[in-house]
Structure 1
Amino acid sequence: MDATPTAAGKLLAVLGAFDDGHRRLTLTQLAARAGLALTTAHRIVGELSAWGALERRPDDTYVVGRRLWNLGLLAPVQTDLRVVAAPFVHDLHAATKATVHVAVLDGVRALYVDRTSGRFSVPIVSEVGSRLPLHTTGVGKVLLAHAPQEVVDRCCADLVAPTPWAVTDADVLAAQLARVREQGWALTDQEMTPGASSLAVPVRDRAGAVVAALGVVVAPFEAGSPAQQSLLTALRVTAAGIERSLPRQD
């Protein structure tokens, strides 16, 4: 079988060179990460830039272009969920003044499809389109608790620690995920970012399957405190509203 990459394969390899840790790349870096000759990468990058899929910055690095971003927003996971969730996310933000997230499972990461920033000075690392670890975020733990075992196994094989509070023991994480399934919510305390805690609940489709997670990021608070209970109630009410508004899947 001919293993020579097709033209489409080479183009996809260039686009696939970008990820959370590589958002700005030089032409040389793009060629290396795509496994292409520099001349080939130069031609493809030129075509992608002309079309608007990539954008060249003044320092001669390339970033994902606006046209490609707009195209990605047409994906059902983006459009259906974001359109339905948007007014509920806005109301939750208005009620809590917290940063509100909606995330879906994307491989072994939590993909953030919507975010409304809070007013308080809490460190936030997520953006719409960010893919963050499942085991260190509230929305991630909700998604992981309801993910297939294969996803859990892959996640447990690489439990990185962004902060000293992150869980790096697979048995400890497994116990936490069991509690998440039992209680219906997840709490993290500075596991992704120092000075920020997150509380999240699942969002289910009409068949009862978890299709997303809804969470807030706030300053650290005591587990079981009135502040937690108030946020948890608001999250559950909001998630229920989103669930009632999700379209039926025939």
Structure 2
Amino acid sequence: MEGIFTYLGAIFGHGQMLFISHMILVAGIVLFVAKIATKSLRAVPGGTQNVMESYLGGVISMGTDVLGEENARKYLPLIATLGLFIFTSNMLGIIPGFESPTSNINITLTLAMIVFFYYNYEGIRKNGVIHYFAHFAGPVKLLAPLMFPIEIISHLSRIVSLSFRLFGSIRGDDMFLWVLLMLTPWIVPLAPFFLLTVMGVLQTFVFMILTFVYLAGAVAIDESHEKAPNPIADTMGEV
């Protein structure tokens, strides 16, 4: 944020280099933690390895409820990496003198685009181009001309939803924290620090679970169609 002191801003100045330097810092922290966790793997984990294994187990458990365990493990590298990057970014912004990379729309939009292109790629790879885009028309062929453009708009809106939800929440948190620190002594904002931490964790969880949901909708087309009601078939069955 322009005009607000940050340690990296004092070195690189404000502007594009400010959020790039914070992004590199977050990437370095994530890589450092991963290196420490895998430096000496043990059968009975402890310390950083234990924390990371618990985190990965939680991600798999989250994905199992949406995609099944096999697919949850398949997409674990993507979801876990996104989670670590977003969580570290969110927490960095809570520390006075630093700015969260996820408070910049360029970062959140990039993350949303990665998710958008990846889940569409996976859907096309598994189901084929024709079958994948055919499900955009819905189960009722008569409504296909109406449903197809609605589905296209719906999928494109996911980019906006993912990026602006994360950006708006973290940007607002950062501004709230800076105003609070300017108005009160540092010891007073302890309770708000806790709330900002909870919000950072929540936004990370929301981004991860939505990515799982989008992947499920792309790769599990047949299952979703089997569960979807078909008014024509139901009517014929009654006759």
TM class, shorter-chain normalised?
Answer: under 0.3
TM-score, normalised to structure 2, is: 0.25
Would you tell me which structure has more helix in proportion to its own residues?
Answer: 2
Higher normalized contact order (CA 8 Å, seq sep 6+, divided by chain length): 2
TM-score under structure 1 length normalisation: 0.24
Bigger Rg, which one:
2
